[in-house]
Structure 1
Amino acid sequence: MEVVGRLLALLVVLLLGTGLRSSGLLDGGRTAALNAVAYYAALPALIFVSTYDQPIAGLLSPALLAGLLIVLFGTAAIAWVVHRNRKTQARRSVAVVQSYHSNIGYLGLPLVAATFDAEVTAIASVILGVVTLTQLPLTILLLSTINGADVSLASELRGLATNPVLLSLIGGLAIGTIGVPFPATAATGLEYLGALALPLALLCVGASLEVDLPSIDPGATGSVVALKIGCMPVLAWVVFSLLRVDPATFTASVVMLGTPTAVSTFVFATELGGDAEFASLNVFTTTLASIATLFVLIALVG
């Protein structure tokens, strides 16, 4: 019942964000401000306090790295085959990337931190770094290649050097590996700040969700939903079972890879010639449907 209560609370906050946007109280400017607090403060704080007291060798194992890459590229390959006959290149490109590009930052890590213990959260923070470094370049490459968009992959990769999520992960892992003492008072303050990551992220996601009824393609959207929150976590379950990873790694991996399509895919689709309306619909649909599928995953692994 505790898991049900948590996920229902997530749904309430998500829909609250949508309602506040519809009423005009959470307009573009306020949403951007909340997004900045979540992205540049709350989420990095959560990542740092999850990793600063543990060495990287205990968190990033060869099996974890191999499993993440197998699941990510495996799902992308399946999506390429499933969506090969979409009616336009713009829609095909979006369908492929949204079938594997997970919302591990705004939803995955905060959800894991609110549901599981510190060990699982620390591994989930490392998963966030590895998957971000992999799925972001892959998404940009696929969208720009399929749609013929002019984009500099090198400049996008350089932007990762100033990514606050990755910088906080590197900082936390460095301190944990070296063994430098970190002030308890500062750690407590960061824990309180990190606790804001999930509600702020859900409000921002809810405020960005839009559905344009005339653009609905049930077959295409249904395939994206099935691949993202159905096939991908099942593949993760199989792969990490075969790799015989420890329970904390298994739990973090399956839940993180079972998250819905990231909101950022809508932004990338808009900038790189993808079907933006279709992208928005898929983010909305996978996010709402994931409330049920994440409950199943958490109940199974928990």
Structure 2
Amino acid sequence: MEGVVLGFATIAVVIAVGALVAHLGIVDLAAQGVLARVSFFVATPALLVTTVARADVHDVLSRSLVATVVGVAVPATIYLLAARRWRRTAGERVVGALASSYVNAGNLGIPIAAYVLGDAALVAPTLLLQLLVLQPLALAVLDADVAGRRPRAREVLVGPFTNPLTVGTLVGLVLSLTGWRLPEVVAAPVELIGAMAVPGVLLAYGISLRLGPGFGGGVPRGELALTSTLKLAVQPLVAWAVAHHALGISGAALLAVVVCSSLPTAQNIFVHATRYDRATTLARDTILVTTIGAVPLIAVVVLLLGP
């Protein structure tokens, strides 16, 4: 359990620093936007290059991936169907669906997989599914929504390849598949820039918590309850049911699937929501609720399914 506590405590401290500097007047709400944009366009793409390059892409082609996919699809679909009652735009529905199913597989999943599951590579199927499939599709819809029109088939297929996050992911994928290594003169600055992605996102999140709308401000309570419940309850239950009963996965592999599905909503969703100005408060508050709730949830999962 040390990895769970350490991972969540580290995130909480950095978020608190962001809220503190905002409270003291050192930064204003505009700084949150600047940090989010720098993270989106510069730091996170650099981080994705190094993260995906180190991942074992072959782990994606496993039975665990099937359970992970279904675990993501079910809560996302439920939200998309339910969102009609709140008359959300296409971009807002995308952010809500991501908040309900897109897990913090990077800065939380990797350390938790290492400390709790004993192998950081166990988070690879979830990480790469999100980076190579979910994120590009979501960003294509968000780009089209901001432009004020329906996404065209060509945009869904080609548009993501112009997005900096997708480009960073694809560069990392090429490096992983080929075994190539970036020259040190390139790798060193890329790693240095990538290192600011996670703290940048967390600081921006803390600033928003302090200076942005109050908790639940402008978001229907039922919608926030839905996204949080889908993320904390439905996703891990569906992943467990598919993995255990449909695919016969057991032991450490089953624990890995369920723990990864129990991770809270990724802070990246807040960056996307801020970047496109879509459902920002819903993303922010869902991240807060699920991050708090994931601590006891993962502890219970480990107790029930662990060795």
Same fold (TM over 0.5): yes
Distance 1:249 1:26, change over 3 A: farther
The residue aligned with 1:263 is 270
CA displacement 1:204-251 (0-9 Å, x = unmatched): 222234334774643332223212333223323333444439957973
2:107 to 107, 110, 117: 110
Residue pair 1:79, 1:96 contacting (<8 A) in 2 also: no
The residue aligned with 2:149 is 151
Q: Does 1:237 align with 2:240?
A: yes
Distance, in Å, in 1 between the alignment partners of 2:228 and 2:171 is 35
For residue 295 of structure 1, report the CA deviation from its aligned partner. Answer: 2.0
The residue aligned with 1:294 is 294
The residue aligned with 2:160 is 160
In the alignment, structure 1 segments of 5+ residues that lack a partner are 272-278
The residue aligned with 1:251 is 256
Distance, in Å, in 2 between the alignment partners of 1:126 and 1:42 is 18
The residue aligned with 1:43 is 44
Distance 1:172 1:179, change over 3 A: same
Residue pair 2:109, 2:260 contacting (<8 A) in 1 also: yes
> What is the RMSD computed on CA atoms of the aligned residues?
4.1
Counterpart amino acid of residue 98 in structure 1: G
The residue aligned with 2:96 is 98
The residue aligned with 2:14 is 13
The residue aligned with 1:34 is 35
CA displacement 1:103-159 (0-9 Å, x = unmatched): 858x44122234334423544441232221344456789x89xxxx94241386444
Q: How many residues get paired?
A: 286
Distance 1:194 1:203, change over 3 A: same
Distance 1:69 1:255, change over 3 A: closer
CA displacement 1:139-193 (0-9 Å, x = unmatched): 789x89xxxx942413864442122222222222212222334446765665554
Give the TM-score, by structure 1 length. Answer: 0.72
Residue pair 1:38, 1:200 contacting (<8 A) in 2 also: yes
Residue pair 1:64, 1:245 contacting (<8 A) in 2 also: no
The residue aligned with 2:117 is none
Residue pair 1:102, 1:260 contacting (<8 A) in 2 also: yes
In the alignment, structure 2 segments of 5+ residues that lack a partner are 115-119
For residue 76 of structure 1, report the CA deviation from its aligned partner. Answer: 2.9
Counterpart amino acid of residue 9 in structure 2: L
